[in-house]
Amino acid sequence: MEAADFINQLKLLLPEVLQIEERLNREFFPSQIGINSLCADVGWHIADSFQSVQNPQAVFDVIESGMLAADNNLKDAIATGLIEALISRTDSSPASWKTIFPYLGPLSAAYAEAWIKFTDTGNI
């Protein structure tokens, strides 16, 4: 899986990703947006609107597929952008994190647990 495939799959499940991408394109113009920035904003969006996500398991299956990809830049963007954004956005709401966490695939969950241990905020 490549970054474009990952984003396109997310757009099918989360139509708001298109709006996020368009907003970032305006903010970064004339430069192109980086995959890390896009993944971070998508992570914040998922955390903020998790209760309205139609098929959270499908979304997190796409995220896990990206973590399994051969593209190291994509994996890094998902880990340091999307997953860390989920964690930072839910840090003040342990109940929200506990709702989201079970949907993470094995690699995503392992990264999240390692990041939480590393940052040790003590909240989640």
Q: Does residue 124 fall inside a structural domain?
A: no
Per-residue pLDDT of the chain (124 residues; tens, 9 = 90+): 899 999 999 999 999 999 999 999 999 999 999 999 999 999 999 999 999 999 999 999 999 999 999 999 999 999 999 999 999 999 888 899 999 999 999 999 999 999 999 987 666 6
Please give the model's pTM, rounded to 2 decimal places. Answer: 0.92
Based on the structure, what is the number of domains in the chain? Answer: 1
Q: Does residue 80 fall inside a structural domain?
A: yes
**DSSP-based three-state secondary structure for 68:** coil
Q: Residue 54 is encoded by which pair of tokens?
A: 């139609």
Query: Please, which residues have CB within 8 angstroms of residue 3's CB and are 6 or more apart in sequence?
Result: 35, 71, 73, 74, 77
> What are the angstrom distances between the C-alpha of 114 and each of 56, 71, 76, 111?
22, 21, 14, 5
Which structural domain, as residue segments, surrounds residue 47? 3-119
For 18, other C-beta atoms within 10 Å of its C-beta total: 13
101 DSSP 8-state letter: G
State residue 8's pLDDT score: 97
| pLDDT, tens digit (0-9, with 9 covering 90-100), for 93-122 | 889 999 999 999 999 999 999 999 998 766
Q: Does residue 14 fall inside a structural domain?
A: yes
